[in-house]
Structure 1
Amino acid sequence: MDQQMQVTNQVLRYENGVVQLVEDVVVTEYPITIMLNDQEFATLVCSPENIEELVVGFLASEGMISSYEDIKELQVIETLGKAMVTTHRVNKLNEMFHSKRIVTSCCGKSRQSFYFYNDARTVKPIEVKNKVLTVDNCFRLMEMLQESSTIFQDTGGVHNAALCDENGIIVARTDIGRHNALDKIYGHCLKHHISIEDKVIAFSGRISSEVLLKVAKIKCGTVLSKSAPTELALRLAEELGITTVGFIRNNALNIYTNSERIMTPELAK
């Protein structure tokens, strides 16, 4: 795309009692409206890179498609800010309740609430057992994620996410929206038929309930973050069988849920 991910802007900077005019790098935002079978489906505000992957991943996570082969045609029209998508078929029930908010039980245990009807329909417990990671794997993957995004290093204004295995990063994506970064990864994997179920998501930001649900829809069993989880995200992770590891920094980390996927030294007495 011709849109830039970042631009230079002049700002007044105050530092140590001195004010000066300097150049600063800021991220850009780009709205893209998804037209699904000639009907307006959703408008996403994103970073203008890997838009096709974003559209594919978003439609899959919303239950509109189940594979890349469900898409008959996909065209991104940059000048109009539109992605025109034609599918061979569409899940009419998921389409009908795409934005319907409800409160319902999670996984039949009546302890957890979903905000959207489609989340309750499409999110299932993770049954595939990830390969066990060592704590050193966790530290190394988080370090690799942080080093992979020059845009974050330049601007501090984006989220980073990566699909990993114990050997390193398979694919990494950057976006102003944390959900978008995950959808771009999902879309890339669907397009290129990359298996996800035995992989790990490394994420730069807070593990919110929305992020946790995205990870569950992608069908990853482990999510790593340098930041904190929310209480709702942890309740969802417990019920959906997802391992959450947070505050991975300074040679320390917290394992919050489903710790069997992380190999640790013996618990100190």
Structure 2
Amino acid sequence: MSGVEKRTIWKFTPGNKTAEAVEDAVAVEQAFTVIVNGEETGTIVCTPSHIEELAAGFMAGEGIIRKYSDITQLEVDHSTGFVYVKLQEGMKVDKDQMSKRFIGSCCGKGRQFYFKSDMMTSKTAIKGASFSIENCLKRMEELQNASSVFHATGGVHNAGIADSDRLIVIRSDIGRHNALDKLYGNWLMNPYSLRDKMIVFSGRLSSEVIFKASKMGVGLIVSKSAPTNLALEAADELGITAVGFVRNNMCNVYTHPDRIREFIG
């Protein structure tokens, strides 16, 4: 199974005074350094699966590329942990854009972005299809049931793109942001309309997670976990419906409830 390593551990259980040697599964962690046009651009510590998608999603999130055709060559060397990327002629990496804190404004409101790349690539979500609470609950249940790596290790985050009827793609990673970047990269390689889609996510809804949904152009993100205040402020301004604590047949709708059918009159 990709992203899983077996090893012998010593397991203590209630009532036993001695440990039992058993074989257990652990999540695999590896660092990959992205080299763009011969320059080191960033190192991502991740689950070593779907690395091409991860690299593409990472570069799009940082504003290095806008579409997958901006890349002329992408090679992954799993043995050394390097990803070699060549861009179309004339394209280059703006390292200031990737690292500078930036404060911008939009529509008369003050919006603070932690990085200039977020300001450059985030976009307000367009109104699209509506979803029922049942849609959100079912897609979350399907996401949790479908992650073989999580069930084997308990050590990864899961993210998926879904419509009202089914999960379209699922990606897992030890890093919650990496799981989303893999989704983004998968979509860049095989683009389709996201106006009637949702992101289903196992991790906390941080501001970075909201920005990633915004960059992809998805207007609804549902999570089994909690949001942060900055995430909700970003979701408010970017027109994203944020739904948290999606579990046990319950959920909380925090922003833009007009995408949820139960709120539509």
Q: Where on the TM-score scale, by shorter chain, does this alignment land: which range? A: over 0.9
* C-alpha distance in structure 2 between counterparts of 1:15 and 1:184, whole Å: 37
Taking structure 1 as the reference length, the TM-score comes to: 0.91
Residue 78 of structure 1, CA deviation: 1.7
Count of paired positions: 263
Q: Residue 94 of structure 1 contacts residue 118 of structure 1 at CA under 8 Å; is this kept in 2? A: no
- Partner of residue 86, structure 2: 86
SS at match of 1:125: coil
Q: Structure 1 residues 64, 191: closer, same or farther in 2, change over 3 A?
A: same
Q: CA deviation at 1:23?
A: 2.4
Q: Is residue 2:229 matched to residue 1:221?
A: no
TM-score (norm 2): 0.93
Tell me what 1:144 maps to: 142
Q: CA deviation at 1:73?
A: 0.8
Percent sequence identity over aligned pairs: 44
Range with greater deviation from structure 2 (56-65 or 7-16): 7-16
Unpaired stretches in structure 1, ≥5 consecutive residues: none
Quick check: 1:262 aligned with 2:260?
yes
Deviation, 1:17, is: 3.6
**Distance in 1 of aligned mates of 2:27 and 2:230:** 30
Cα distance change of structure 1 residues 160 and 51 upon mapping to structure 2, 3 Å threshold: same
Tell me what 1:27 maps to: 27
Give the Å deviation of 1:109: 4.4
User: 1:177-202: CA deviations, max 9, x gaps?
Assistant: 11111111111111112222331100
1:195 to 1:95, Cα distance in 2 relative to 1, 3 A? farther
Measured in 1, the distance between the counterparts of 2:92 and 2:189 equals 23
In the alignment, what sits opposite 1:249? 247
Name the residue aligned to 2:12.
14
Structure 2 distance, partners of 1:249, 1:216, is: 24
Please tell me the residue identity of whatever aligns with 1:124.
Answer: K
**What letter matches 2:7 in structure 1?**
N
Deviations 1:109-147 (A, max 9, x none): 444421111112221211x21310011111111011111
Q: Separation in 1 of the partners of 2:172 and 2:243?
A: 20
Aligned partner of 1:71: which letter?
Answer: I
Number of the residue aligned with 1:97: 97
Read off the aligned partner of 2:118 and give its amino acid letter.
Answer: D
- Deviation per residue, 1:56-89 (Å, 9 max, x gap): 1111111111111111111111222111100105
Looking at structure 2, the residues matched to 130 and 111 of structure 1 have their Cα atoms a distance apart, in angstroms, of 26
Q: Residue 39 of structure 2 corresponds to which residue in structure 1?
A: 39
Deviation at 1:12, TM superposition (A): 2.7
